[in-house]
């Protein structure tokens, strides 16, 4: 039984350490890049509308691959891209037509669940990333909650309380073991 508890203790400690290092790495990479955090060249985006359903569900998190300047001009019909609609709004839709004009490459896009194409063509320089099919359903709801004031408090307090409880239990066990050793040593000395 003690070996099982020891292994569970080690596993919990290992998982907590990996989580702490992963979060620190993501935060550090986002600060260094000056923008959105990237993991192996992919950015995680939350889907806020149903325009791409059923392939991409509302509330999902998708991984999109950042594109370089040359890659932005080489997209093809059928590719799913994330582009800037304006400064504060990103949209992920499918390319349904590609046109080369004097001002550069333009893409006509449409959400899979929309009846009509988007009203404005997308200039290649407004394309941010390309979607390759990696989706985590409903995780976006959790991310949006974590970015709200209540979510921030929740995600700071709950892990803190869990770490504190885990530390208290570990310290209590060590103190109990020390007391047991002292009792057994004093009993041996009295015999």
Using CA atoms, how far residue 174 sits from 12, 41, 170, 181, in Å, is: 17, 44, 6, 11
User: Is 30 marked active-site?
Assistant: no
Enumerate the β-bridge partners of residue 43: 38, 64
Half-sphere exposure of 87 (CA within 13 A, CB side): 0
Of 29, 30, 33, 49, catalytic: 49
Q: Give the N- to C-terminal CA distance of the chain in Å, as an integer.
A: 30
pLDDT digits (tens, 9 = 90+) for 68-100: 888 888 888 999 998 988 777 888 899 999 888
- Helix 139-147 with 149-190: angle, nearest 10 deg: 90
Using CA atoms, how far residue 47 sits from 18, 59, 150, in Å, is: 27, 5, 21
pLDDT digits (tens, 9 = 90+) for 126-177: 888 889 878 888 777 776 776 677 776 777 777 778 878 888 888 888 888 8
């Amino acid at each position: 039984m003690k070996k099982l508890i020891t292994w569970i203790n080690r596993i919990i400690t290992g998982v907590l350490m990996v989580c702490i290092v992963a979060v620190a790495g993501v935060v550090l990479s986002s600060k260094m890049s000056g923008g959105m955090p990237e993991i192996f060249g992919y950015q995680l985006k939350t889907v806020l509308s149903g325009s791409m359903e059923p392939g991409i569900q509302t509330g999902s998190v998708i991984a999109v691959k950042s594109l370089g300047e040359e890659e932005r001009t080489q997209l093809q019909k059928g590719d799913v891209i994330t582009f800037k609609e304006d400064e504060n709004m990103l949209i992920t839709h499918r390319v349904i037509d590609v046109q080369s004009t004097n001002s550069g490459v333009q893409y006509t896009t449409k959400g899979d669940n929309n009846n009509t194409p988007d009203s404005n063509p997308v200039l290649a320089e407004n394309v941010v990333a390309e979607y390759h099919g990696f989706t985590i359903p409903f995780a976006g709801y959790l991310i949006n909650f974590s970015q709200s004031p209540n979510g921030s408090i929740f995600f700071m307090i709950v892990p803190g309380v869990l770490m504190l409880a885990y530390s208290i239990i570990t310290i209590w066990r060590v103190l109990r073991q020390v007391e047991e050793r002292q009792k057994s040593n004093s009993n041996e000395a009295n015999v």
